[in-house]
A and B are shown apart, each in its own frame.
Chain A
């Protein structure tokens, strides 16, 4: 790979690094593991860069990151007890914290717990849709499943979350 290719890679792919890291954070659920996975994914992306022609560089990078995360999760890591960073936030509240902030903090912790508890295939579509705001078509490209599958996984994932958050949806299917 020539230096020009590396420069092109840096220009086209690296602007999406925050998206890549965000996806990895929510999929592997650990700050340090996410860093390792993203570094690995970016190097793979560089190696596969010949195969990238035109099109959505973000979806292309996210697909590689997603696959690296899934490989990582399958290599036994996925079964370890996950204590999410946010959920593990200080249990003694800062007395100066306003009520509104305290409520927001506990809400965030509850959401993170609920999301972390979702099966991987639901969690990934939720993150890609709600946090990264991808279209169903883009999600289908990243995850490598038909749009209909994206649709039904999102529906089921959201339903489980609604139940976990006590928002009164009908029983999760």
Chain B
């Protein structure tokens, strides 16, 4: 075997992807040609360094949630022959497929017993608004980490003034605000982030009916509470313990 031919085959030789006789011929050539042997070492070293240093990436939770949501929606748009179970009853099957973050399935029981959110339709709209906000460029209309910029920004844009507490010291970073249309009206949304998780806080005038609820939809946690004549919803894929912590701090202002 000539060197040129050997060089050509070296890479496939390393991968054990040659025909047996070719594999054998390269092996014999390498035993006798130091130049080609050096070349093989260089290529094998390159290959090893890539394998050792470059990692496989885990799918981020935000992407899993986006996919979960679009699959649920795709399903919803297709007429099915039998009455469908609600989307969330499929999550256990999904978890088996390795898709769902553990936290989602662990809260299904809770969502079954505490489905007291005022209206399913509004809850659905709010989760939709949350998911829409995760699309690139949709999260904030006013980008600011300063509560004294975000709060006045809502003046004249919406007819109520939501609380915008500064929770930086607790690790919940204010990222800005935006106006969403939910159920036909403009409502203010204040956004925070914790690590890579987005928390959207929606505010609406309280309708007098006192309700507080925890729910999990499409893998997102939703919590509802009242404060200062307003009704708030926080939505996030953050785990429920941290979301509860966030809400306790938010209420305290």
- A residues at B contact (CB < 8 Å): 1-3, 6-7, 9-11, 14-15, 17-22, 25-26, 31-32, 35-36, 38-39, 42-43, 46, 104, 107-108, 111-112, 115, 126, 129-132, 135-136, 151-152, 154-155, 158-159, 161-162, 165, 167-170
Contacts and interface: CB of A to CB of B under 8 A. Distances in A.
Contact of A151 (B17, B42, B97, B136): B17
Contacts of A15: 97-99
Given A39-B67, A170-B39, A151 B46 contact: no
B155 to A, nearest CB: 32
A161 B46 contact: yes
Interface in B53-109: 53-60, 62-64, 66-67, 70-71, 74-75, 78, 80-81, 84-85, 90, 93-94, 96-99
B193 interface: no
Interface stretch (B4-12, B171-179, B203-211, B218-226): B4-12
B108 to A, nearest CB: 16
A2 B81 contact: yes
B120 interface: no
A135 B17 contact: yes
A108 B46 contact: no
B38 A35 contact: no
Interface range for B: 35 or more
Contacts of B144: none
B84 to A, nearest CB: 6
Given A6-B75, A17-B59, A132-B56, 8 more contacts: A9-B71, A14-B97, A20-B59, A21-B60, A111-B49, A126-B50, A130-B54, A169-B42
Contacts of B38: 168
Max chain B CB contacts within 10 Å: which of A108, A155, A161, A165? A155
Given A43-B74, A168-B42, A35 B63 contact: yes
Nearest to A33: B136
10 contacts: A3-B75, A17-B67, A17-B98, A17-B99, A18-B56, A21-B60, A32-B136, A108-B53, A159-B11, A161-B46
